[in-house]
Structure 1
């Protein structure tokens, strides 16, 4: 194709290795198709990989091409067009992996990689347990920018400068990427709050604290310069925490419950097969303990519902008065 289009980092995996595609030209082409047709490339990649795995495992998808398989660019290209036009098999798959799986039956759920209906992010959570916790518990579902990635803090791989800015968040030690325990939860709480604030203030995470060019104090100064009101790093962190609570309350009101704060089962049952973490998967019981620790640190009950004292601390008590949330002591 003679066109060009801006490319996000995630498509290199979602429409690359995730679907068995090693053709760089087709990767560029699929990116152009996504931008032209209004498709999310990450969700699209996981829809396609689900369709391929369903075919491999004898789960019938009406009108799916018999040629669809890993890396077959011709059949994948046609499926992209069918999804955009909602024709043939694309009509079902355009609904995303959760809704498509619900219609295909329970045998397909193993291949529907999502949390709360949002397709997975391409950054591996089995070896990055901060990300795993974020994918599972974040009200918005799995996103690569839910918090700073674990390898920045790894005892072997972490950047030398990582700890300089992180000390301002009271992150004082490096922790192995794959560690499952309360110390990781403590770090995740701080890291998710600062990136929540970054998102709310429309700052680019690639410049965000604690490991990028901006400092937490500079974020407060920028906010003051733009708005004209006095601000501080404390207020920035408070914005991040308040936003997480507010989006959590919205989810609860809309019927999303604690049992959806989890990961696709494959991350617990299917080990990594190559490299440094070969044969590694997440210990589900330890991961569930991390979730309960996070709930407690956030001031939520064991079902992930913010307690009234937490609402007061975040100036959100009005959600009870307005009927959006039941009062939990």
Structure 2
């Protein structure tokens, strides 16, 4: 207790052996930060929704696992055959991930309008023209070696070289992901890559979600800019757009729950409620979850995903952003036409529920033909699964999660989505200039397709019976 996640990892492996696997919380989880996460491998995280605080509330520091038994596989030969086949046929995002990891899209996303800029109020071309400084080649230039999760053929991660100066880190810290590069970069107008690597390391060691942490720093900067926060509130720290030193200083305070950091450590929703003074305008969250670095104005399917999923404000829950390169028939849609998209949205959401439940990496999902999913599930389990079976299974998973929330009084149709996320008011510059997402139309058609009530969001009894879930309420 009291050790950071790296120290905890080293201590437990020294005690139980280097071949164990473990997951742990850092000091942020111990101090019940609502944006704390659960860490493993010193840089991989179950990062969203404050799950680190759940472990912290139970005084549970870590879980260590060690075993020798093989996982049973119904048809091992077939599974190995499929593995070799699909590795040879990798497509989609896979090759780019092998080269750059997720950092490869940072600059393009800032310029295209995919990633939000200046706390969702700016545009890449006008407000953050130097995005290449925190993207692809610039990141790889500081990479020491690749990092892969166990036996992963993509190996999108990386360990960084040691750096010196005000943002010094030791060799071997983890490479920041796209989301981190955006929250501490584009969202804060910070093009100092070494400071983002430092922020990433602070978050990893303390066990903070880098999405929420970067978002809460951007929130604080905008509050400071508008006189809601002062130097007296920040203990003398200047919070300005692009000020790397101020960003790092406040991130350290958030990690330690010191001063203003104690308020910010519970995320933008709680912070804005405590600070008041109109700060709510700058608190960009959906259902209390800071919004990730993908804009529905650029990918309209994110509007229903962010609002309707049982864990709102999550880009990893499926929809138009996360589509396999082949294997699912999808239509073509004009960017600002919001009708006729619901069927494709449902396919991609249902598919992603199975991907998540099966423990398949999202990056693998967007790098291989979608038919790999029923084929692998069939060979591993012995079930004879088709793509239709997978889609039905995905809808069942989604509805069960949804019914849990309804039982607890959470109706997603009552969840507020910040105007900035939908383009209200519309941006005045950049690729998303003048665009406002018609989320109401998109969601209305989606509700009709899945047969959910337009007011209560409850699935019809007929739909529940079709899904075999009519015994749930």
- Normalising by the smaller structure, the TM-score range is 0.7 to 0.9
1:128–1:149 Cα contact (<8 Å) kept: yes
Shift of 1:89: 0.4
Match of 1:313 in 2: 466
Between 1:261-270 and 1:40-49, the stretch displaced more is: 261-270
Shift of 1:148: 5.0
1:37–1:84 Cα contact (<8 Å) kept: yes
Query: Which of the numbers 205, 212, 235 marks the counterpart of 2:362?
Result: 205
Q: Aligned pairs, how many?
A: 300
Which has the larger share of strand? 2
Query: Which of the numbers 8, 15, 21 marks the counterpart of 2:190?
Result: 21
Distance 1:131 1:271, change over 3 A: same
Match of 2:204 in 1: 35
Match of 1:290 in 2: 442
Q: In the aligned structure 1, how far is the partner of 2:322 from the partner of 2:177?
A: 20
Q: In the aligned structure 2, how far is the partner of 1:185 from the partner of 1:34?
A: 37
Q: In the aligned structure 2, how far is the partner of 1:245 from the partner of 1:262?
A: 21
Specify every segment of 5 or more residues in structure 2 that has no aligned partner in the other structure, as ranges.
1-168
Q: In the aligned structure 1, how far is the partner of 2:463 from the partner of 2:235?
A: 52
Shift of 1:99: 1.3
1:1-329 superposed matches below 5 A: 1-3=169-171, 4-60=173-229, 63-66=233-236, 67-105=238-276, 107-149=278-320, 164-167=326-329, 171=330, 173-181=331-339, 183-208=340-365, 212-216=367-371, 218-266=372-420, 267-282=422-437, 286-302=438-454, 303-320=456-473
Q: Over residues 305-324 of structure 1, what are the superposed CA-to-partner deviations in whole Å (9 max), with x where a residue is unaligned?
A: 1222222222222322xxxx
Distance 1:19 1:180, change over 3 A: same
The secondary structure found in structure 1 opposite 2:433 is coil
Q: In the aligned structure 1, how far is the partner of 2:320 from the partner of 2:181?
A: 18
Q: In the aligned structure 1, how far is the partner of 2:343 from the partner of 2:436?
A: 22
Which has the larger share of helix? 1
Distance 1:244 1:151, change over 3 A: closer
Shift of 1:150: 5.3
Shift of 1:116: 0.9
Q: Which has the higher contact order (CA 8 A, sep 6+)?
A: 2
Q: In the aligned structure 2, how far is the partner of 1:258 from the partner of 1:229?
A: 34
TM-score by length of 1: 0.84
Shift of 1:201: 0.9
Shift of 1:275: 2.9
Distance 1:245 1:5, change over 3 A: same
Look at both structures and tell me which one has the larger radius of gyration over its CA atoms.
2
2:211–2:292 Cα contact (<8 Å) kept: yes
1:82–1:91 Cα contact (<8 Å) kept: yes
Shift of 1:292: 2.0
Q: In the aligned structure 2, how far is the partner of 1:319 from the partner of 1:58?
A: 50
Shift of 1:15: 0.9
1:128–1:178 Cα contact (<8 Å) kept: no
2:191–2:242 Cα contact (<8 Å) kept: yes
Shift of 1:26: 0.7
The secondary structure found in structure 1 opposite 2:301 is helix
